[in-house]
Structure 1
Amino acid sequence: MSHTFHIPVLGLGFSVDTPLKVARYGISSVMSIVDDELTERMREYHCRQNNLPYEPIHKHEADHRAKRITAYLNLVKQLADAQFEDLKKQEFKAGTDITRYFELLPDTSQLKQGYDLMMEFPEGDGKTIFENILRKKMIQGAIDVNIMAKVDKMNFDADGHYYGDEYTDAIAALRGFANSDLSSSVVLSAGMNPKLYSYLEHCADFFPDQDGNIKKKVILKVSDFRSAFIQAKFLAKKGLWVSEFRIESGLNCGGHAFATEGYLLGPILEEFKLRRASMQTELFDMMRNALTAKSIDMDAAPKQRITVQGGIGTAEENNFLMSYYQLDGTGWGSPFLLVPEATNVDKHTLAKLATSTEDDYYTSNASPLGVLFNNFRGSTIEDLRLQRIDKGRPGSPCTKKFLLTNTEFTEKPICTASREYQRLKIAELDSQVITSSETYEHKLAEITEKICLCEGLCASAYLKYDIIKPKESTAVAVCPGPNLAYFDKVYSLDQMTGHIYGKINLLQHTQRPHLFLKELQLYTQYWLNDMKRNIAELTDKKKVQLHKFKEQLLSGISYYQNLFQDNQMLLAELDNYLNQLKESLSPTYQL
């Protein structure tokens, strides 16, 4: 790969066409394919922009969701490939994209070193030969896709008949990717979905060809070793290989936050480092046995990458993670929301993000999925939510229906952010005998906190490209990780890439905690909040859970004390934080 970092999926619309902005420079990125309406509208937009014919794929067509996704991914590949081929034909002179390609590379890259050497050559046939060698060695950035495994709504026809498991949202999206021309990876996130994972077995491109090459690869986004190994074994027994484990901090990340049971990122990475080789051997044995049963020969294990993302903010942190934990790459997500060349952030939201502070970032229960959600106080969707409450009409009109999960009041699932659900839930609340107004207001706030992510996470792209429809909501939901608070400007692609590789320092005058300490702070606060919510009625089960969480935190702290023992500045920062931590928790919680 040309670069050692990738741009992870960012919401729905923020990175939906990022490959068209960065793939030609060798930078890999991930697009969400959760929303087929979004991919269809983006296909229309990019066809119009490139004077290509556009034939709409309507919702009434059979398997429309998969077909829309396939058509969009094929278009993105077509355009990105053309960009890359045009770039490779350019002259090596100042201001061209081909020179930008090489100048964006890290100084440690052999390709970059070759470029620097070539630039010192005198003009002539020798330099021309050198230039052509470099052109042949250039690599385009990967065009990967993301599927949230458990966002897998069942679908019915107009008469209420179930279409079948093959047409659930996640499986249809996977089929859309499988049928595309892409040779890239699907990132499966948000937990294991056995039906979805089993469907991979029906897609030939996920298996090795006669030369051992896998056209479409599987990447698992995971938050701990145990769950990663369980998921990978499930796939290996079907002859499917996990080409990358993409480890993400449970809380120091953007989007949905899946808190582990107190397992911190450092110890998690240590376990992957220590058990990587034995895991790969065990997985390959399982895979080879399954392939033999399918009459497929595989002599050597395919390459298996391990990367990390979530909260990385400096070149020093990036380099330490790569070298100490022997990683193959890192992911930089939220900071790229401040890079208009790479992502789709509307002007209003961009200005808010660029001037934000630590207090503007918080985890909330705003997601209809019932999972913690990284929220931003400056988002316009929060303004809209409050306006609707003030007007006595809390909740959103549910138009896209991707997050239908609740059956408390209805036979068919509905969304907890919808006006229908919140009306029914508030009526239930009003029917209860609640003597404390404070308790009532708290329960009411819990109901009305949910926001429409289906519309909110797409709106920014529609606004940026000026393709918002009449009467369509312009309210933007944005879900950056808390790390974004330390970046305070709008940046160019060159600046952000240079920052990642240590060529420049965008945070030179910024006070910012080490990513491990920031995550420790987030986990400690999470534990405290959980304890406070349950302390009045602490069940035995919850007590065990809280105790286990606390023990894992203490184990992680001990790990960091040992890890940082030769770094006096960082050790002092950790010790100072620990003293504050103990004071805040004692004697009530006895940590």
Structure 2
Amino acid sequence: YFELLPDSSQLKQGYDLMMDYPADDRKLIFQNVLRNSMTKGAIDVNIMAKVDKMNFDSDGEYLGDEHTDALEALKGFVESDLESSVVLSAGMNPHLYSYLETFPDFFPDAHGKLRKKVILKVSDFRSAFIQAKFLAKKGIWVSEFRVESGLNCGGHAFATEGYLLGPILEEFKQKKPEMITELTGLYQQALETKGISLASAPKQNLSVQGGIGTASENAFLLEYYELDATGWGSPFLLVPEVTNVDDATLTELAHADESDYYLSASSPLGILFNNFKRSSAESQRLERLAKGRPGSPCTKKYLVTNTEFTEQPICTASREYQNLKIKQIQSLQLPEEEYREQFDSITQKICLCEGLCSSTYLKNGINKPKENIAVAICPGPNLAYFSKIYSLDEMVKHIYGKLDLLDKIKRPQLFIKELNLYIDYLQTDLQNNLKDLNDKKRKQLTKFKAQLQEGIAYYKDLFAQWPEQPAHIIEQWFDELTASESALEATLIG
């Protein structure tokens, strides 16, 4: 426990000091003090706010608004013994947010303590402030804003309108004090109507995640943007001690390169999804296509959203939906190229309800007989630069700069990588709309490009003042930034 802590930790410094003590009563007292200072990690839960399926009984009767998936998930968390946080991600759901107000655990006790806390995963300052004000007016405090890169992340990807991570964090840094002041006023006023008096609002943390890959990047983000924490996700998929990745998928991840990670339309939710070409779920999808059997059996029905052909929603990754949709486009007698584009779009969807669970089932030997064991996995693009299976000790030492797992690995700087992902995204979006580029879309793409240009100007200023970096590294960053700028300028929007 103590040896995993960063050297800057007071606990780690105390531990190192204790190790130098002679073996006597003083050492035992010191050890007990340290043991009593150890803290358990929190068991936080995540709810994708807009994945909120309506539910029906066996007779087809609607069970009511309080029995939708997201609300039932929240209720389950509240009824648990956990004293931790619920992470609300994937957009704002007013129905779910209002439901928070019905549970006393989200309000402070007589000592100002929150038994259950709220963390918002956000993509920019404006949306964070809007959501936090909505909640504050109900007496719900946001204990943490978790800023996530729009594209340089794992899981579903929520691209911004060209707003890059650096400028987003800069806006939080500049405006956070003003925001906290306004939120505190709204919060205290709402609590007073509920008979709760609070002298000051609880602490509000700010963290960031998405594409961090080196100790230097990690330290800079924490210090320059005055963050409380950073999040590392995808690299830990290669750490078997702490994540549930089956052996076959683990081997594929360890030997993958940049071309194996791609942004896809595979999710039935209709949201961009970071996919892995070597996954067994992707292999199974292609095998089913080759056999003329596209789509998946729909057993869990968590992502049923489409009512195009049925009264009750079905999933766009299901065999039922894909067969119905393919028959529809066949009846339209489309030109071959257009038909093929639509066919590929329909059949690209994969089952995530089973696919994202399969790896855990396989690793722990709990998959049922005849259960689908094809594995879907959604690492961020940053995993391409980690190419071994690591121990927890190695990964933690890498994060804190005691070990460099990426030594001699050619990897773009964090901000430049995200910038390039956004340029690729813009170029793909432009290409997909070339045939029908109306004024509204043209304005949107032009604004998107302009926002990226503003981001590049910001990074030029930032790199010029980046502390403790050798001159040749800064020069390399400027070269990469210039290349990105040239690629963006060459992207012509008609």
TM-score, normalization: structure 1? 0.82
1:371 aligns with 2:271: yes
1:464 aligns with 2:353: no
Corresponding residue number in structure 1 for 2:133: 233
- What CA distance in whole angstroms lies between the structure 1 residues aligned with 2:272 and 2:290? 25
Query: Cα–Cα, structure 1 residues 517 and 582, in superposed 2: closer, same or farther, change >3 Å?
Result: closer
Corresponding residue number in structure 1 for 2:407: 508
Instruction: Say whether the 8 Å CA contact 1:315–1:501 is kept in structure 2.
Output: yes
- What CA distance in whole angstroms lies between the structure 1 residues aligned with 2:368 and 2:293? 23
In the TM superposition, residue 576 of structure 1 has moved relative to its aligned partner by 2.9
- What CA distance in whole angstroms lies between the structure 1 residues aligned with 2:267 and 2:281? 12
Aligned to 1:572, which of 469, 475, 489? Answer: 475
1:547 aligns with 2:446: yes
Corresponding residue number in structure 2 for 1:151: 51
Corresponding residue number in structure 2 for 1:351: 251
Corresponding residue number in structure 1 for 2:425: 526
Aligned to 1:200, which of 100, 106, 109? Answer: 100
In the TM superposition, residue 573 of structure 1 has moved relative to its aligned partner by 3.4
**1:237-256 to 2 correspondences below 5 Å:** 237-256=137-156
Alpha-carbon displacement from aligned partner over 1:235-258 (angstroms, at most 9, x marks no partner): 000000000000000000000000
In the TM superposition, residue 122 of structure 1 has moved relative to its aligned partner by 0.6
In the TM superposition, residue 433 of structure 1 has moved relative to its aligned partner by 2.5
- What CA distance in whole angstroms lies between the structure 2 residues aligned with 1:574 and 1:406? 46
Corresponding residue number in structure 2 for 1:129: 29
- What CA distance in whole angstroms lies between the structure 2 residues aligned with 1:587 and 1:329? 37
Instruction: Say whether the 8 Å CA contact 1:561–1:574 is kept in structure 2.
Output: no
In the TM superposition, residue 536 of structure 1 has moved relative to its aligned partner by 2.3
In the TM superposition, residue 535 of structure 1 has moved relative to its aligned partner by 2.0
Paired AA for residue 256 in structure 1: H
1:218 aligns with 2:118: yes
Paired AA for residue 346 in structure 1: D
SS of alignment partner, residue 431 of structure 2: helix
**1:112-123 to 2 correspondences below 5 Å:** 112-123=12-23
Paired AA for residue 310 in structure 2: T
Paired AA for residue 115 in structure 2: K
SS of alignment partner, residue 460 of structure 2: helix
In the TM superposition, residue 370 of structure 1 has moved relative to its aligned partner by 0.3
In the TM superposition, residue 443 of structure 1 has moved relative to its aligned partner by 1.2
1:184 aligns with 2:87: no
Query: Cα–Cα, structure 1 residues 588 and 285, in superposed 2: closer, same or farther, change >3 Å?
Result: closer
Sequence identity, in percent?
A: 65
Q: Unpaired runs of 5+ in structure 2?
A: none
**1:96-495 to 2 correspondences below 5 Å:** 101-435=1-335, 437-495=336-394
- What CA distance in whole angstroms lies between the structure 1 residues aligned with 2:39 and 2:485? 51
Instruction: Say whether the 8 Å CA contact 1:367–1:451 is kept in structure 2.
Output: yes
SS of alignment partner, residue 102 of structure 1: coil
Query: Cα–Cα, structure 1 residues 285 and 582, in superposed 2: closer, same or farther, change >3 Å?
Result: closer
- What CA distance in whole angstroms lies between the structure 1 residues aligned with 2:465 and 2:228? 25
In the TM superposition, residue 442 of structure 1 has moved relative to its aligned partner by 1.4
In the TM superposition, residue 102 of structure 1 has moved relative to its aligned partner by 0.3
Paired AA for residue 389 in structure 1: L
- What CA distance in whole angstroms lies between the structure 2 residues aligned with 1:300 and 1:580? 49
In the TM superposition, residue 574 of structure 1 has moved relative to its aligned partner by 4.2
Query: Cα–Cα, structure 1 residues 551 and 588, in superposed 2: closer, same or farther, change >3 Å?
Result: closer
In the TM superposition, residue 579 of structure 1 has moved relative to its aligned partner by 4.2
Instruction: Say whether the 8 Å CA contact 1:367–1:373 is kept in structure 2.
Output: yes
In the TM superposition, residue 571 of structure 1 has moved relative to its aligned partner by 4.5
In the TM superposition, residue 587 of structure 1 has moved relative to its aligned partner by 5.3
SS of alignment partner, residue 451 of structure 1: coil
Q: Which moved more, 1:450-459 or 1:579-588?
A: 579-588
SS of alignment partner, residue 2 of structure 2: helix
Residue correspondences, number: 490
- What CA distance in whole angstroms lies between the structure 1 residues aligned with 2:490 and 2:403? 46
SS of alignment partner, residue 307 of structure 1: strand
- What CA distance in whole angstroms lies between the structure 2 residues aligned with 1:366 and 1:389? 14
Query: Cα–Cα, structure 1 residues 310 and 449, in superposed 2: closer, same or farther, change >3 Å?
Result: same
Paired AA for residue 390 in structure 2: Y
Alpha-carbon displacement from aligned partner over 1:474-500 (angstroms, at most 9, x marks no partner): 100000000001101111111111111
Corresponding residue number in structure 2 for 1:561: 460
- What CA distance in whole angstroms lies between the structure 2 residues aligned with 1:331 and 1:317? 12
In the TM superposition, residue 582 of structure 1 has moved relative to its aligned partner by 5.1
CA RMSD between the two structures: 1.3
Query: Cα–Cα, structure 1 residues 162 and 590, in superposed 2: closer, same or farther, change >3 Å?
Result: closer
Q: Unpaired runs of 5+ in structure 1?
A: 1-100
In the TM superposition, residue 541 of structure 1 has moved relative to its aligned partner by 1.1
In the TM superposition, residue 439 of structure 1 has moved relative to its aligned partner by 2.1
Query: Cα–Cα, structure 1 residues 588 and 297, in superposed 2: closer, same or farther, change >3 Å?
Result: closer
Query: Cα–Cα, structure 1 residues 280 and 393, in superposed 2: closer, same or farther, change >3 Å?
Result: same
Instruction: Say whether the 8 Å CA contact 1:266–1:560 is kept in structure 2.
Output: yes
In the TM superposition, residue 123 of structure 1 has moved relative to its aligned partner by 1.0
Corresponding residue number in structure 2 for 1:30: none
TM-score, normalization: structure 2? 0.97
SS of alignment partner, residue 143 of structure 2: strand
Query: Cα–Cα, structure 1 residues 408 and 134, in superposed 2: closer, same or farther, change >3 Å?
Result: same
Paired AA for residue 329 in structure 1: A
- What CA distance in whole angstroms lies between the structure 2 residues aligned with 1:186 and 1:407? 30
